[in-house]
Chain A
Amino acid sequence: MSARAIAPAAASLLAALAIGGLLLTASGSGPLAGYDALVAGAFGTRYDVGETLVRALPLAIVALGVAPALRAGVFAVGAEGQVVLGAMAATAVVLGLDGASAPLLVAAGAGAGALAGAAWALLPALLRARLGVNEILSTLLLNYVAAAVLGWSLRTWLKTPDEVPSPRSDNLPLEAALPNLLAGTRLHWGIALVPLGALALAWWLRTPRALAYDVFDTHPSLARRAGVDPRRAIVATMLVGGAAAGVAGWLKVTAVDGALYASVAGGLGFTGVLVALLGGLRPLGIVLAALLFGALSAGADGLQIDTGAPASLATVLQALLLIAAALAFEARRRSTTTTRTA
């Protein structure tokens, strides 16, 4: 990559650090002390590393799942609602099977999460494929509907009979969760799904079908000649994305939260889509982007505890990184395609 191609991305990275520094100064802590606390919060102790990984995990799963759709030019941004539905279905099934053996609870929870996430994706997928309804808007609007469904469920059929300060479900049995991986942290065996998912995506990208999906958006007729039915491509990729988001919801509720709360998704679906974009829609890139976002999120909590600067700094830095990446991708595309198309 030439220096000219790197320049805009490097400049925007520096700008991101500078803006973060300004915000840290505004909060009363110095920029250096702030960044120091941020790094310590992400990697300082064994627990912090665990937090970084446990936050990166669902982001990576959502992002790996949504990547095929985004590659096909289907801008599906409904992972937030699909995470919610996946978590809800997993909660209901696990509570319904109370007393069953651990392997059954894990399998049933995972299956229910994936199915519910995919089901929530099916409606916008069919609307786009059959009626041409813009998938960006339908998925965004359905995210708000999913939040309402969750609120209603937590007030009615999934509500715990215990006296609790905020609405939540009954505690899920410990057997329903994947076992802990790193003692003293919240990290669980679900992390194994990340390399598996990345390998699956890497394998799929080597198939001829993936290539046809890639040009499906820009050259629909070419894709059709390669035997790709646009409708099936839309529905299939969106269902995969929905199932992955549902699995992320299942992991969050069983292995991390231990009960269903209204905040179960907490923006992770939305952020997961951004992680896919930051990672350049490639498996390795997505895993690295998820680690980076996870570290920022865990680090910002440490920052808030240490210096009092609000943890939402992480969100700001994530957005700035995404902008830097968007510029870098364009620069790289230009430097690699000018020779071909000129």
Chain B
Amino acid sequence: MDWAELSFWTLVLGGAVRLATPVVLAALGEALVERSGMINLGIEGMMLAGALAGAWGAATAGWGAGVLLALAVGAALGLTMALLVLWGGANQLVVGLAVTLLAGGLSTYLFQLWQPSGRTAARVPLAPVVDVPGLSSIPLVGEALFEQSVFTYLAVALVVLAAWSLRRTGVGLAVRATGDDPARAALRGVAPRRVRAATLAVGGALAGLGGCVLTVGYLGSFTDNVTGGRGYVALAAVIIGRWSPLGALAGAAVFAVFDALALQAQGQGSGIPIELFTALPYVVTLLVLIAVARGSAAPRALGRPLDAAGG
């Protein structure tokens, strides 16, 4: 198999869709958080926590339980962050890094209690792959796009739902108003603090789900630091996607295409160092970040704490 063959690119496309799914979910959550004016640096930790919670839940009571547990753990971490930042007044960037450190340490600790080294790994049942009848037999792209894990279809549906809600519903308006001008939103009867707490909870749940996709969707096992920086990539995807849900999907896709290309190309033995392929998705993400840096579309109050009146 080589670059010139179409089957190679079919594999890359299928891999890209798979690899994009966890990042899309996390990035979608982060887009909502940032539209309400917060930055969640704890996203990497929330993904990691979701990955472990999902694996444990799935091994204990089936993949559905794993998904629910991952959502719950992510939301709980998001709410904890909301409590500390919005009510405790702590710096959101510091708390975010602390949450990432906390989830990293906790997941390693609990994983070792669950599966002490040397013991055979528990079996984690995978969520099913759904074959869309008819569409999956389209030549070249059918298999790649329509024979995917349930999570992939769920992610696309959630992106569309979030895009529509942000634009067309009162809740979406409240989120956008809070992110642009919390003081004025408060005058109009929106409670900025509650809106931000809610988006953090949803963002945390989606990050947890994204982590769960890795373990329960694909790998069937947990390893330390299994997320490998994907939470940070999701943060980048939000900026690349100009803070819109569909943009976040596109931003995640950029990373995933190169991630998949790297994965396929590694198997080729082309003489190119494999580390070049490992670094490539991060380098490309950075390059795109540079390309879109000019002309900001960021929510106006992004990263600024609420003042006393903004509650």
Q: Do A and B come from one complex?
A: yes
* CB of B8 closer than 8 Å to a CB of A: no
Interface size class of B (residues with CB under 8 A): 35 or more
* CB of A199 closer than 8 Å to a CB of B: no
A330 — which chain B residues lie within 8 A by C-beta? 88-91
Q: Are A145 and B105 in contact (CB-based, < 8 A)?
A: no
* CB of A27 closer than 8 Å to a CB of B: yes
A119 — which chain B residues lie within 8 A by C-beta? none
B98 — which chain A residues lie within 8 A by C-beta? 274, 319-320, 322-323, 326
Q: Are A327 and B88 in contact (CB-based, < 8 A)?
A: yes
Name the prevailing secondary structure of the A interface residues: helix
A315 — which chain B residues lie within 8 A by C-beta? 101-102, 104-105, 108-109
A273 — which chain B residues lie within 8 A by C-beta? 97
A155 — which chain B residues lie within 8 A by C-beta? 273, 275
* CB of A131 closer than 8 Å to a CB of B: yes
| For the complex of A and B, 10 pairs with smallest distance between CB atoms | A315-B105, A319-B102, A148-B279, A152-B275, A326-B90, A330-B89, A312-B108, A319-B101, A316-B105, A310-B112
Interface residues of B, Cβ cutoff 8 Å to A: 41, 84, 88-91, 93-95, 97-99, 101-102, 104-106, 108-110, 112-113, 228-229, 232-233, 235-236, 239, 273, 275-276, 278-279, 282-283, 285-286, 289-290, 293-294, 296
B113, B239, B279, B286: the one contacting A310 at CB < 8 Å is B113
* CB of A32 closer than 8 Å to a CB of B: no
A75 — which chain B residues lie within 8 A by C-beta? 93
Q: Are B89 and A138 in contact (CB-based, < 8 A)?
A: no
A77, A137, A152: the one contacting B97 at CB < 8 Å is A77
Q: Are B275 and A319 in contact (CB-based, < 8 A)?
A: no
- Assembly CA distance A118 to B167 (angstroms): 44
Additional A-B contact list (19), CB under 8 Å, known A149-B279, A315-B108, A319-B99: A77-B97, A131-B293, A137-B239, A141-B233, A144-B229, A148-B275, A155-B273, A273-B97, A274-B97, A313-B105, A316-B102, A316-B106, A322-B98, A322-B101, A323-B90, A323-B95, A323-B102, A329-B90, A330-B90
B88, B95, B109, B290: the one contacting A316 at CB < 8 Å is B109
- Assembly CA distance A167 to B275 (angstroms): 14
Task: Output the least CB separation between A314 and chain B (Å).
Answer: 7
Q: Are A331 and B89 in contact (CB-based, < 8 A)?
A: yes
Q: Are B94 and A131 in contact (CB-based, < 8 A)?
A: no
- Assembly CA distance A142 to B282 (angstroms): 7
A23-B109, A131-B290, A313-B105 known; A322-B239 Cβ under 8 A: no
Q: Are B101 and A152 in contact (CB-based, < 8 A)?
A: no
B102 — which chain A residues lie within 8 A by C-beta? 315-316, 319-320, 323
- Assembly CA distance A288 to B122 (angstroms): 42
Q: Are A141 and B113 in contact (CB-based, < 8 A)?
A: no
A127, A271, A310: the one contacting B109 at CB < 8 Å is A310
- The 0/1 profile, CB within 8 Å of B marked 1, for residues 194-205 of chain A is 000000000000
Closest to A322 in B: B98
- The 0/1 profile, CB within 8 Å of B marked 1, for residues 1-12 of chain A is 000000010000
A-B contact pairs, 9 of them (CB 8 A): A131-B294, A134-B239, A152-B273, A152-B275, A312-B105, A315-B102, A323-B98, A327-B90, A330-B90
- Assembly CA distance A273 to B41 (angstroms): 14
B84 — which chain A residues lie within 8 A by C-beta? 323, 326-327
- The 0/1 profile, CB within 8 Å of B marked 1, for residues 303-326 of chain A is 000000010111110111011001
- The 0/1 profile, CB within 8 Å of B marked 1, for residues 119-160 of chain A is 000000001000111101110111111001101100110000
B101 — which chain A residues lie within 8 A by C-beta? 270-271, 274, 315, 318-319, 322
Q: Are B275 and A133 in contact (CB-based, < 8 A)?
A: no
* CB of A277 closer than 8 Å to a CB of B: yes
A148 — which chain B residues lie within 8 A by C-beta? 275-276, 278-279, 282
Task: Output the least CB separation between A137 and chain B (Å).
Answer: 5
- Assembly CA distance A143 to B229 (angstroms): 9
Q: Are B109 and A313 in contact (CB-based, < 8 A)?
A: yes
